[in-house]
């Protein structure tokens, strides 16, 4: 390739930092090799499948195909062993590999690009990369779900306060709370599976945008590359980046779930709550305050969500309003996806470790579960069930009991029977059976409720699917 570097003086308006003319800037804005070298393995796999198909269809000779495949495999090991020199002048991974192939095998290298364009080539490489990343994400979410299932099983009976508005609401079990996250990450994983189905079509052979006059076999390359089938519209094929946006939106939703978990861990591990204690492996100390144990990993997971959301918005904005088919704007897709993928992987891995390692303080949770009049709803339900009151009236009676307990500085269960009967004459000493937190959670047997028996059913449901 000719060296087009221009040595005339730099542009007066914006060339201060450039030693040479505008070509240096052009090279800098144009080149993607700095980040798309990550796609080398996918690029080589795609080229081997393409060359093999070209020979099978009689478009190139078997000898040329053998040289091409051998040369590409050599390049693969050169890159893997760090013995490949990437050149920015060659713009991107596709041209870096093709130029090296020409050096290695001579003129036969020039036949590889028959019946294809960098437009379908990059669409292929990136799709293969995103597909592998989705498969990795699916496995990692399965690991996180498994960690929660183990903790849920261990704590199917451990009571804790359930919150709404972060105010004590009703007692729940820690196992039930863990299973809430299993539902969230289970939905994330099913979104990942759907995304794999959506992108499972091979772009190669769409060529620049219109298809090709060569008698290629796109079903053959699709099969060789592990895709379900080839894409059906060559214009859409080189224009589409919604597979990448779908990955980012799934990452953003999962990141949002992870950030809620991160926030709960931050709250639970404060000395004031003391519900969990993070292992040394997932916390840090303070350089000035010796008593501190900081939940840095959880905080960073919470923060990674910001990066992932940024990537989603960036790519949506890059793609918005682009005319069909390919435009160079689309080269900006990769860094967003690479960065979000790295953040998501780290966040899931850190959370899986934290969930597995943290020590759960069941005594603290139980004590907190009983405070804040958390069994008030149970008293109201008892009045409906045993004394036949309409729920609204029962709610009012219970409110008076809570106010009285509050003024006496005691719990509902500590109010003397005479006090309760003064509020409503139908109350008997049987009411004390429902005022404990254990009785409260055990009574909530409705499907999906917090009773240990129900939680165990949900654990069994997910174990069979994990």
- 122 lies in the binding site for ligand ARG (CB under 6 A): yes
Q: Tell me the three state secondary structure of residue 267.
A: helix
Beta-sheet pairing, 229-230 with 276-277: unpaired
Binding segment for ligand ARG (CB under 6 A), chosen from 115-123, 262-270, 415-423, 435-443, is: 115-123
Helical (H) or strand (E) element with 202: strand 201-202
β-partners of residue 276 are: 360
Contact (Cβ atoms closer than 8 angstroms) between residue 146 and residue 464:
no
Sole residue written with tokens 């990537």: 311
Sign of torsion, CA 43 49 51 53?
A: negative
Residue with Cβ nearer ligand ARG (333 or 454) = 333
Q: Which stretch binds ligand ARG (CB under 6 A): 117-125, 144-152, 259-267, 295-303?
A: 117-125
Catalytic choice (77, 279, 286, 453): 286
Least distance to ligand ARG, CB of residue 86, Å: 13
Nearest to 207 by CA among 50, 62, 438: 50
| Number of C-beta neighbours around residue 426 at 10 A | 14
Which residue from 50, 65, 118, 151 is in contact with ligand ARG, where contact means CB under 6 A? 118
Q: Which residues within the stretch 374-433 sit at the binding site for ligand ARG (CB under 6 A)?
A: none
Site for ligand ARG in 17-36 (CB under 6 A): 32, 36
Q: Pattern of binders to ligand ARG over 307-336, x per CB under 6 A?
A: -------------------x-x-xx-----
The verdict on 127 binding ligand ARG (CB under 6 A) reads no
Q: Give the pairing of strands 229-230 and 201-202.
A: parallel
**Cα gap 444→461, rounded to integer Å:** 19
Min CB(331)–ligand ARG separation in Å: 4
Minimum CB separation from ligand ARG for residue 122, in Å? Answer: 4
Judged by CB under 6 A, the residue of 43, 92, 98, 240 near ligand ARG is 92
Which residues lie across from 72 on neighbouring strands?
Answer: none
98 touching ligand ARG, by CB under 6 A:
no
Q: Answer whether 34's CB lies under 8 Å from 88's CB.
A: yes
Q: State whether residue 466 is helix, strand or coil.
A: coil
Strand stretches in 282-396, DSSP E: 359-360
> Given the complex with ligand ARG, which of 165 and 328 has the nearer CB atom?
328
Report the chain's terminal Cα–Cα distance, integer Å: 53
Segment (H or E) for 284: none
* 223 backbone dihedrals φ, ψ, rounded to 5°: -65, -45
Report, in Å, the least distance between residue 217 CB and ligand ARG.
23
Binding mask of the shown chain, residues 44 to 83, with x at each position contacting ligand ARG by CB under 6 A: ----------------------------------------
Is 165 a catalytic site residue?
yes
How many residues of this chain interact with ligand ARG, rule: CB under 6 A?
10
Between 122 and 222, CB nearer to ligand ARG = 122
The residues that bridge with 163 in the sheet, in sequence order, are 168
Whether 286 is catalytic is yes
- Residues labelled catalytic: 165, 286
Residues that bind ligand ARG (CB under 6 A): 32, 36, 92, 118-119, 122, 326, 328, 330-331
């Amino acid at each position: 390739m000719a060296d087009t570097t221009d040595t005339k003086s730099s542009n007066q308006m914006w060339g201060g930092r450039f030693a040479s003319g505008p070509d240096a800037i052009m090279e800098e804005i144009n080149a993607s090799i700095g980040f798309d070298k990550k796609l080398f393995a996918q690029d080589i796999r795609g080229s081997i499948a393409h060359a093999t198909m070209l020979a099978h269809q009689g478009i190139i000779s078997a000898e040329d195909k053998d040289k091409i495949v051998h040369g590409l495999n050599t390049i693969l090991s050169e890159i893997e062993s760090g013995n490949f020199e990437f050149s920015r002048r060659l713009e991107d991974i596709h041209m870096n590999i093709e130029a090296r192939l020409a050096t290695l095998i001579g003129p036969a290298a020039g036949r590889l690009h028959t019946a294809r364009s960098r437009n379908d080539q990059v669409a292929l490489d990136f799709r293969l990369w995103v597909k592998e990343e989705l498969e990795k994400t699916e496995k990692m979410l399965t690991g996180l779900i498994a960690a929660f299932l183990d903790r849920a099983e261990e704590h199917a009976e451990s009571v804790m306060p359930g919150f709404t508005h972060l105010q004590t609401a009703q007692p729940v079990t820690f196992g039930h709370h863990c299973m809430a996250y299993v539902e969230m990450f289970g939905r994330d994983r099913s979104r990942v599976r759907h995304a794999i189905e959506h992108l499972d079509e091979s772009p190669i052979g769409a060529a620049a945008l219109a298809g090709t006059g060569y008698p290629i076999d796109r079903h053959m390359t699709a099969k060789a590359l592990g895709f379900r089938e080839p894409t059906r519209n060559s214009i859409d094929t080189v224009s589409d980046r919604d597979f990448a946006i779908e990955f980012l939106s799934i990452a953003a939703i999962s990141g949002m779930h992870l950030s809620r978990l991160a926030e709960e861990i931050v709250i639970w591990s404060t000395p004031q709550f003391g519900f969990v204690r993070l292992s040394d492996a997932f916390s840090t100390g303070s350089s000035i305050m010796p008593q501190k144990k900081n939940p840095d990993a959880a905080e960073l997971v919470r923060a990674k969500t910001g990066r992932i959301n940024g990537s989603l918005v960036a790519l949506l904005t890059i793609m918005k309003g682009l005319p069909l088919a390919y435009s160079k704007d689309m080269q900006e897709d990769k860094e967003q996806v690479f960065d979000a993928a790295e953040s998501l992987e780290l966040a899931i891995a850190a959370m899986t470790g934290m969930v597995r390692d943290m020590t759960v303080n069941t005594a603290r949770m139980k004590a907190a579960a009983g405070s804040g009049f958390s069994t008030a709803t149970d008293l109201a339900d008892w009045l409906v069930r045993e004394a036949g009151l309409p729920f609204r009236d029962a709610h009012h009676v219970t409110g008076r009991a809570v106010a009285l307990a509050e003024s006496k500085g005691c719990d509902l269960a500590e109010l003397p029977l005479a006090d309760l009967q003064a509020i409503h004459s139908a109350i008997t000493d049987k009411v004390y059976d429902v005022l404990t937190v254990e009785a409260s959670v055990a009574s909530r047997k409705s499907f999906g409720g917090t009773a240990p028996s129900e939680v165990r059913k949900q654990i069994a449901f997910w174990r069979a699917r994990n």
